[in-house]
Structure 1
């Protein structure tokens, strides 16, 4: 644990969006850590704040979005002097973000490759452009590096593909191109926002394996955004469970999958499809997420939580460490020493025990 090198530290991040109906408090006090060479996953239902958090890291919030408070400290080593540098991304200007951070030190792979690629530009030009912009590489140097990147991401006949346009490639190949563009400036952090959603299952597995291979080769730190816990099980070292703009549970992959403590995490795990289940219907978490235009009183999950206590309706729970763990934290009043002892649903316990035996 001591030799882990922290590369990104988010503290007390609060983000709101101005709308015609009022201010939406989309992110409410998020704390997050990312270490060199490690993979964290951010999971939760749609609208929980996963993508907004990572867009804030990239400095690409929508024009109606505002960071109300908090810090996003990013650490890197100067490529010339080797000195350790630390900057708060929140305090950086648009020009600094564009020149220093976006695409250069932190890169992002979006979920739909067709909206990430310019349909009027050749693949080669799109892969070369970031290198020519950030590192002032000549066309010849950028072309050679682009060829290497296409081969790295598993594109066959790379020279021919350089001349192609996006519409001439399959969905899986387009996503590989997007990954190649993201890697073109040798970033330290790669953010993957649902990178396999638009792809069929067999291609999904190949893209996930590809990202893992590249991560090992380049010692990248990776942030996955997903609602698919099956993906999380394959790729993540640490998991952050988000609900209504807050991280409600965080821990190692084993802690979240085999010893979850928050009722919302129980619901997400119960909703995973299972071929061996005896149930006729897939489990769904009852109710809907809160409308964050209105102030959230107490625990945001309380109205959907059958284990909610009276205090949940009045006070937002603090974050507790799970006894015996330095990595497993839960934001729930059920973790209070005076709270009644509540066990996870028996059906979920059997399912998790089965997954553990099978080494899933």
Structure 2
């Protein structure tokens, strides 16, 4: 990994205007991404993970209002000259021409909705190369076949002529990855890339993305609620709740030394064969309705460790190490000392032992 930062999201704040009222979906989000690095954004559905990265791609819905913030993206032109742009200041036409697909590509969670059912696979892969680089059709065809080989599709020539409905779920997702890689982007955003697939295919797709990232030196952002996936792929983790990042740190810090009660809940809810409990832990209650913002910490109604101040003031980010911080009043020096649940402690010990067994990696 290099020290070159390619994506810098600062104080991003987004509201959606709906018929029911204003939904404050993203609240002062900060994310850094360096070249060759993998960053994960985790949290329950509706926490703002996808909206944050759609903003980075400039593909937000028309009813989105950017209250404040900026999204700086750094890339190199074809001649090697460096460029730095604030995505939020550019119009959709410019973003479509210079960013979407060409420099930032996205793998969506359901390949059937991101593939055109009326168009052959080959044409869908060639389309980006022809649009962005005016690649001659013969060359685009040859590159498309190479890409299908690269993502592990056997008999690539035959697949070029197939339609999406003729392929299995795993093959469709491989095609979506091939399309995302067609223009050699700098940044790959994986939005729940394995949700619609069975477990064995999930592992193969994750391994494929890791291999391609290594070979091409890509930066990757994973959007997921599956902490099992995060443990395998991420260098850094951002935990989101109700549109705000509540904890961030290196993968080891989040998994082995979590400090926010919401992160405790997410980790406790991970299935574990060796647990003493006969049932899965769950986080009580439901995610908040962002139409009705409450004072204080949005997680307080579901937090069994909530303090009186949680209902009055939203906690700031408390620094734990240089790379690890969490937004919970439990980290305030004046707060009573609260330990993480005993069963979670045991689970973390088991995770550490398992990691040591497989060579010290998480």
Please say if 1:282 is aligned against 2:277. no
RMSD: 1.0
Inter-partner Cα distance in structure 1 for 2:61 and 2:77: 30
Structure 1, unmatched stretches of 5+, are none
Shift of 1:296: 2.9
Provide the secondary structure at the position in 1 that maps to 2:280: coil
Shift of 1:278: 2.4
Please say if 1:37 is aligned against 2:58. no
Indicate the residue corresponding to 2:17 in structure 1.
18
Inter-partner Cα distance in structure 2 for 1:340 and 1:348: 20
Indicate the residue corresponding to 1:99 in structure 2.
97
Indicate the residue corresponding to 2:237 in structure 1.
239
Please say if 1:78 is aligned against 2:74. no
Inter-partner Cα distance in structure 2 for 1:328 and 1:313: 25
Shift of 1:311: 1.2
Inter-partner Cα distance in structure 2 for 1:4 and 1:312: 37
Structure 2, unmatched stretches of 5+, are 356-361
Inter-partner Cα distance in structure 1 for 2:304 and 2:157: 58
Indicate the residue corresponding to 2:302 in structure 1.
304
CA displacement, residues 105-156 of structure 1 (integer Å, 9 cap, x when unaligned): 0000000111110010000000000000000111011111101111110011
Indicate the residue corresponding to 1:123 in structure 2.
121
Shift of 1:56: 0.7
Provide the secondary structure at the position in 1 that maps to 2:29: strand
Shift of 1:18: 1.2
After superposition, residues 256-267 of structure 1 pair within 5 angstroms as 256-267=254-265
Inter-partner Cα distance in structure 2 for 1:184 and 1:44: 30
Inter-partner Cα distance in structure 1 for 2:343 and 2:273: 14
Indicate the residue corresponding to 1:329 in structure 2.
325
After superposition, residues 138-153 of structure 1 pair within 5 angstroms as 138-153=136-151
Inter-partner Cα distance in structure 2 for 1:43 and 1:234: 14
How many residues align? The count is 356
Indicate the residue corresponding to 1:160 in structure 2.
158
Provide the secondary structure at the position in 2 that maps to 1:222: strand
Inter-partner Cα distance in structure 2 for 1:50 and 1:69: 18
Moved over 4 A (4+): none
Provide the secondary structure at the position in 2 that maps to 1:31: strand
Shift of 1:280: 2.3
Shift of 1:49: 0.5
Provide the secondary structure at the position in 2 that maps to 1:125: helix
Indicate the residue corresponding to 2:348 in structure 1.
352
Indicate the residue corresponding to 2:358 in structure 1.
none
Shift of 1:336: 1.2
Inter-partner Cα distance in structure 1 for 2:240 and 2:340: 19
